[in-house]
Amino acid sequence: MLREILAAGSAWILDCRTFSNVSVTISFEMEQASLASVLEKLGSEGLAFDGSSHEMLKSAGQGAGVIACSLQVTFVHMERDQCDFVSPFSG
């Protein structure tokens, strides 16, 4: 779903990294003019942005040119067998 939404907004995906089954971070570039439609499509699919991110994204969509973006999605797993405990300490 994310790839299709970004592609529809003419985004160029530069990198995609996953962290276990907990989150994914996608780095991409896109035209500023396409940002508003991409945000609307992400919201219609149920992705939620916190207040500060939403305000920053609205202001970033004003103007012209290519902007570098990064989208981190954290997955909420309710099934016990899909929950991974990640210790904040190494070793």
pLDDT at position 27: 92
Give residue limits of the domains in the chain: 2-77
pLDDT at position 47: 80
pLDDT tens-place values along the chain, 91 residues long: 888 888 888 889 999 998 877 888 999 998 888 888 888 888 888 887 777 777 777 777 667 788 888 888 887 766 665 555 555 665 5
pLDDT at position 82: 55
pLDDT at position 40: 83
Query: Cα(72)–Cα(24) distance, rounded to whole angstroms?
Result: 6
Task: Tell me the three-class secondary structure of the chain, residue by residue.
Answer: CHHHHHHHCCCEEEEEEEECCCEEEEEEEEEHHHHHHHHHHHHHCCCCCCHHHHHHHHHHCCCCCEEEEEEEEECCCCCHHHCCCCCCCCC
pLDDT at position 88: 61
